[in-house]
Structures are given as structure tokens and as C-alpha cells.
Amino acid sequence: MSEEKPAVLVVEDEESIRRGVCDVLAFQGYAPTGVGTGEEGLLEALTGRYALLVLDLMLPGMSGYDVCDGVRQKLPAQPILMLTARGSEEDILEGFKHGADDYVTKPFSVSEFVARVKALMRRAGGTAPAETIDTFEFAGWQVDVAAARARHGDTRIDLTPRELAIMALFHREAGRIVSRRMLLHDIWGFENPEKIETRTVDMQIGKLRKKLDRGAGSQIETVRGAGYRYGSV
Ligand code: CA
């Protein structure tokens, strides 16, 4: 058993948080490296040896957005998890614009942070978990995964595999912003979604909404400039 631990770079100027995050990552079987400035973070990230970049957006000097830009230019497929302050949705939207993949808002619980790290690593590894659930509820619809069908009262609709996958993703991420980048990666399987026309996503979501509107509404909200959100926050 000599499997190498995935290296994770943590860029965070607040020492207590940086240490805490590194400790959690080490405990979870990753090999964390912590740095306190954006400049160091960018230099380190560009070595390309990190499986994941955990990036605080609010850094003195070079900001997390700048780091994101610099990393994306050279390493378009680098998974980036951004840390933002609670309640600053604008930061999250801005982070997505700069190419972040996912986010955690501070203060966060250990379990919340670990869940986001694992989800992002799974996606990056191209091993998105097969949905093992048989049925789930979505916007008032009872979704039968095996039958690829949903029921709302007496109304029944058939679902394509892609629609099922999108609904399962939104269901899993309920209340959170799902970026187009994440959708293109998870649902369409694009390695480097940055370069892909995002209208594909919007058209697909539009079709799905129409179908779901035959029930009690789709509950899929557009988050301008970033992506979508299903369900209440
Ligand atoms: Ca900070």
C-alpha cells in the first residue's frame, strides 16, 4: 500500500483557519500545504502538482480572484474550492466568474468542508458516484430513477438520462449555487468547461423547466452570471 496521498494547496491568510483546514485535510488522508498569501499561492499552484486548490478569496495583496485567473490561464482543469464569507453571495458569483469550481462559506463545519472536498475530488477524478438512490422528490415530483419517470398527482412525465442526472445533481446540491462549469463537467463530462458554449446548459435547463412546470413549478432559479439554484437557501 504505497498509494500517494493527493496533494492539496491551502491559500488562506488567517493562520488559525489555515492550520485547521490543513489538519482536517491531513486527517482525511490528503497531503496539505498551507501558504498565507496570494503570491505564494499562485507560484505554488502553478507547479501543477496539486490535486486540489483550497483558496480564500479575501487575501491581502494579490486576491483570491487574481490567483484563480492566474491558475486558470495555465491549468484550466485545476479543481479550485473557494472559501468565502457567509452572506457574501457576490463573492461567490465573482469567484465562479474567475473559474472556481465550488465554494464553502466561512464559518464552516468540518463535515461540510470535507463533503465539498470529497465531492470536488470525485468529480476531478472523473468518478462521479453512480446515483444509488431509486426515488427522490424534486419540486413536488416523485422521481423514479429506474423507470426514468416522474409523477406529480395524476401527471406523469418521462425523463431523459440527462434530465435525470441534472435533477439528481440539483437535488444533491439543494439550496446551493450550481455553476454552469459544474454542470458541464458533471453532466456533459467536459474536462475543461471554460471553453464550451454554456448555452447548451441553458437550453437543456429551459426544456427541463418546461416539463417540470406541468407540476408545481420547477423551483430551478437562475443565478445571474453563475448558474442555477434549486430549492430554498
Ligand atoms: Ca482572508
C-alpha cell at 70: 492566474
Distance 220 CA to ligand 1 centre (A): 32
pLDDT of 152 higher than 80: yes
- Tens of pLDDT, residue by residue over 33-92, are 999 999 999 999 999 999 999 999 999 999 999 999 999 999 988 999 999 987 788 899
* pLDDT at residue 216 in the model: 85
> What pLDDT does residue 220 have?
96
pTM for this entry: 0.79
CA of 183 to the centre of ligand 1 (A): 28
pLDDT digits (tens, 9 = 90+) for 167-198: 999 998 999 999 888 898 888 888 776 655 77
d(CA 182, ligand 1 centre) in Å? 25
C-alpha radius of gyration, the chain, whole number: 19
- Digit-coded pLDDT (tens) for 96-127: 989 899 999 999 999 999 999 998 888 777 55
Ligand 1 mean position, distance from CA 28 (Å): 23
Find the length of the chain: 233
Four-residue CA torsion sign, 180, 183, 188, 194: positive
Q: What is the whole-number distance in angstroms between the Cα of residue 199 and the centre of ligand 1?
A: 34
Q: How far is the CA of 32 from the centre of ligand 1 (A)?
A: 18
Q: What is the CATH number of domain 7-125?
A: 3.40.50.2300
DSSP string, 158-196: E--HHHHHHHHHHHHTTTSEEEHHHHHHHTS--S-GGGS
Q: Residue 37 C-alpha to ligand 1 middle, in angstroms?
A: 9
User: Where do the CATH 3.40.50.2300 domains begin and end in the chain?
Assistant: 7-125
What is the dotted CATH code of the domain comprising 135-230?
1.10.10.10
CA of 85 from ligand 1 middle (Å) equals 9
Per DSSP (E only), the strands in the chain are: 7-11, 31-35, 52-56, 80-85, 102-106, 135-138, 141-144, 149-152, 155-158, 177-179, 220-223, 227-230
Q: Which three cell numbers stand for residue 24?
A: 482536517
Question: Looking at the chain, which residues constitute the CATH 1.10.10.10 domain(s)?
Answer: 135-230
Percent of the chain with pLDDT over 70: 93
Torsion of CA 134, 181, 178, 30, to 10 degrees: 80
